[in-house]
Structure 1
Amino acid sequence: MLRRLFLTFLLLLAAPAWAVPAMWQVGQGKRQITLYGTIHALPKGTDWLTPQAARAFNRAGTLVVEIAGPPDPAAMRAVVMELGRLPTPVPLASRLPDDLKPKADALLKATGLPPGALDGMESWLAALTLVQIEVARAGLDPAAGVDVALIARARAAGKPLVGLETPRGQLALFDGLPEADQRLLLASAIADAGKTGEQMQGLVAAWAAGDVERILADFDDASLSPELEKRLFRDRNAAWADWVQAALKKPGRHFIAVGAAHMAGPHSLIALLNARDFKIKRVQ
């Protein structure tokens, strides 16, 4: 159930030596935008920047990403503490269905976290913490992610950087969820723990092949929480479509790199732009 929600972390385990992620272009001439589906962490050594993508990046005057980081670690910790800490600790077990409590106990012991370490966290932050631990245990490296590499290239080339969102804004998407939805997220994180590698093998192959339809089929988790799906995907895609529409009214070439899950399905960024009568061409 968490697979789409944590595409940024989990589409990572079987990346081939050479990947060809999906890429589109909208506009033409001096008013052109490249749309590139990313993964925010990868095994070291994954070769994903194809010559065609490199040319599009080099031609662009501006790189546009979800967050133009990296953020200041101290500032980020302060935001997490502000948004994600409970005023009074609530035992994690009390937020879980009975059938998941034994697995939660075993999982917390396996992670090496001290007893009660997650009790002071809001349910959404406890869920994200568990997923991040799973990612780290799998040996995955966010420093090898596509966004990090593109940001480094842009800075080296002197390209301006634009962030569509802020760290606070992204965390607020989770923090604003009703507690019932947060607990669904937490339960799903515990239920899926230990199965990350097996579940993600096919999804990695789909990203590497640019197969957005397969990504859509594998990442339909509105059943987990329609409100969370709306916040994380539909609302953000609509806001990003507004940004693209406004950018195309002025001269400039932009390379927009956002999570690949935002490019698939009837409510995707691509579908929204098509609905606004923009001519979008799949170029990779």
Structure 2
Amino acid sequence: MTTLARLKTSVADLGRFAGGSILGLALAAALVAAPARALAQAAPATAAAAPAAVLPATGSGPALWVVKDADSTLYLFGTVHVLRPTTAWGSAKVDAAFAASSDVYFEISNPDDQAAILPLIQQYGISPQTPLSSLLTPVEIADLDAAAKTMGASAAQLDPLRPWMAGLTLSIAPLIKAGYDPASGVETILKARALAGGKSVRGFETLDEQVRVLATLPEDAQLQFLRSTLESFDAATTELDGLVAAWAAGDVAGIQALGVDEMKATAPAIYDALLTRRNAGFADDIQGLLAGSGTAFIAVGAAHLAGPDSVQAMLETRGVDVEQQ
């Protein structure tokens, strides 16, 4: 089997850090959305999807913040990149903020661009000259094979993947089996609403930049990510269920405890790459928007808005007031 054929098979259905990935990296949803046929050739353009209805949340719903100056109002909203269609997160305050905004900013503006994803996976996600079988122990290869079989693949088919790509693939696979779907993710729904409402849609980062967040990690950090995913493979869905429940209830402390603190304590290199450095970049972008004027809605993964290194904490250390709604 060729390297590309293995790649197509292994990511067709595309850990411990699964929750942090889903709340911290829009790329995760982009890879989930990449069907095998899109890896063989660019998918044809299709009409924009109609905005999906969202069930109303119980209570006040997910947290929302606002940053203001004399001529700017910026709403800051944490998202989950993949959700079950039945997740109830609708919120009147979020709807009002979104309606008042003329511009919408996401981590990336084009997670559904399959033609852009394929060359990035080929460039950064596979390394047949250094297969996983040369990096993992026999016991770990057996664990990899067992995890891969749950998504209709095998360790041999994942062998050409780089550790970060294998870890991300396996962290997402059980979630898809449990009914999580990028089409129900917050960004997908908000983007459809924005386009239907004539709002501009922009991204703070590019797909290439997001891929390189994990692809440029040292090999030992990538292997730690993969090993942690294998160790907690069976618990991934339960962990994300807890994170989603905290997010939908506006429980920011719960998000921090479940999706941020453990990553910071046990995998500081991954935490720094996935959250700290990118949060600083998002804070820079927000300050740049404040220097202009107008009203904008900013939606980034909820992990970026929880904990001591959150975007809000960084803004406040720079003298920018952030108010929770």
| Structure 1 pair 70–174 and aligned structure 2 pair: CA distance change class (3 A) | closer
Further displaced range: 62-71 or 162-171: 62-71
Aligned to 1:131: 171
Q: Indicate conservation of the 8 Å contact 2:164/2:215, yes or no.
A: yes
1:118-197 equivalence runs, <5 A: 118-197=158-237
Aligned to 2:127: 86
Q: Deviations over 1:249-273 (max 9, x none)?
A: 1111110000111111111001011
Identify the match of residue 5 of structure 1 among 18, 21, 28.
Answer: 21
Runs of 4+ off more than 4 Å? none
Measure the CA separation in 2 of the matches of 1:6 and 1:168: 18
1:27 has 2:68 as partner? yes
Aligned to 1:37: 78
| Structure 1 pair 172–203 and aligned structure 2 pair: CA distance change class (3 A) | same
Aligned to 1:209: 249
Which secondary structure does the structure 2 equivalent of 1:4 belong to?
A: helix
Measure the CA separation in 2 of the matches of 1:210 and 1:171: 29
Aligned to 2:57: 18
Further displaced range: 212-221 or 184-193: 212-221
Measure the CA separation in 2 of the matches of 1:236 and 1:180: 21
Measure the CA separation in 1 of the matches of 2:139 and 2:312: 40
Using CA pairs below 8 Å that are at least 6 residues apart, which structure has the higher relative contact order? Answer: 1
Measure the CA separation in 2 of the matches of 1:273 and 1:59: 23
Aligned to 1:264: 306
Which secondary structure does the structure 2 equivalent of 1:67 belong to?
A: coil
1:238 has 2:280 as partner? yes
Q: Deviations over 1:144-172 (max 9, x none)?
A: 11111111111111111110111111010
Q: Indicate conservation of the 8 Å contact 1:100/1:191, yes or no.
A: no
Q: Indicate conservation of the 8 Å contact 2:22/2:81, yes or no.
A: no
Measure the CA separation in 1 of the matches of 2:316 and 2:273: 21
User: TM-score with structure 2 length normalisation?
Assistant: 0.80
Measure the CA separation in 2 of the matches of 1:71 and 1:112: 24
How many residues end up aligned between the 2 structures? Answer: 278
1:47 Cα deviation after fit: 3.3
Further displaced range: 163-172 or 204-213: 204-213
Q: Deviations over 1:223-265 (max 9, x none)?
A: 3321211111111110111111111111111100001111111
1:29 Cα deviation after fit: 5.8
Further displaced range: 191-200 or 138-147: 191-200
Which secondary structure does the structure 2 equivalent of 1:254 belong to?
A: strand
Amino acid corresponding to residue 55 of structure 1 in structure 2: A
| Structure 1 pair 29–61 and aligned structure 2 pair: CA distance change class (3 A) | farther
Q: Deviations over 1:69-114 (max 9, x none)?
A: 1442122111111111114251x34423555343223222333214
Q: Indicate conservation of the 8 Å contact 1:184/1:224, yes or no.
A: no
Measure the CA separation in 1 of the matches of 2:314 and 2:190: 25
Aligned to 2:109: 68
Which secondary structure does the structure 1 equivalent of 2:278 belong to?
A: helix
Measure the CA separation in 2 of the matches of 1:58 and 1:30: 18
Measure the CA separation in 2 of the matches of 1:70 and 1:122: 21
Identify the match of residue 292 of structure 2 among 247, 250, 269.
Answer: 250
1:89-104 equivalence runs, <5 A: 89-90=130-131, 92-97=132-137, 99-104=139-144
Measure the CA separation in 2 of the matches of 1:16 and 1:59: 21
Q: Indicate conservation of the 8 Å contact 1:7/1:261, yes or no.
A: yes
